[in-house]
Amino acid sequence: MRIEAVRGDLTTQDVDVVVNAANSSLLGGGGVDGALHAAAGPALLAACRQVRRDTWPDGLPTGEAVATGAGRLPARWVVHTVGPNAHAGERDPALLASCFTRSLDVAAGLGASSVAFPAVSAGVYGWPMAQVAEVAVAAVRGWQPPEPGSRPALVRFVLLTADALAEFERALGA
């Protein structure tokens, strides 16, 4: 599995799966969540509402992941994960790591060969970018697929700023 970090826009990634740093409601928000919903169009919100009706009526728990279609995005699917909110006292690195490993579990279950991640919890949820990069890279490197042979060929971290990219490159040893 190749792991890379690039500076770019998650909404334009031509991959099988883009991971959404969602809030537990799955009904849109700010940051990555808002950008993905805006770019995907109303089909993404409709799919998220269906997930809430059928699977997670009380909202998606922190560290969990679930897939929907991707609407108008170039990706085939969106895997939504809820990162821990440091401002609310959620500071356990294992919970943050779970966002990455559970997202990969879901992506592997879909048969995805490429996955693009944002820096989950590094925005309004208040985690330091360096810590998110370390946890994310370690989680992806240590992840074991639920089914043999279901490992994506590519995991890409897509970062908006040069500073964020530098932290992920440091964590990758690039």
d(CA 38, CA 103): 21
How open is the CA angle 126-20-161, to the nearest 5 degrees? 55
What secondary structure does DSSP assign to 18-71, as a single string? EEEEE-TT-S--SHHHHHHHHHH-HHHHHHHHHHHHHT-TT-PPBT-EEEEE-T
DSSP state for residue 145 in the 8-state scheme: -
DSSP state for residue 88 in the 8-state scheme: G
105 counts as catalytic:
no
Active site residue: 9, 14, 16, 33, which one? 33
Helix or strand holding residue 77 (H, E): strand 77-82
CA distances from 69 to 44, 53, 62, 144 (A): 7, 16, 21, 24
Query: CB-side exposure of 171: number of CA atoms within 13 Å?
Result: 24
Q: Which residues are catalytic?
A: 33
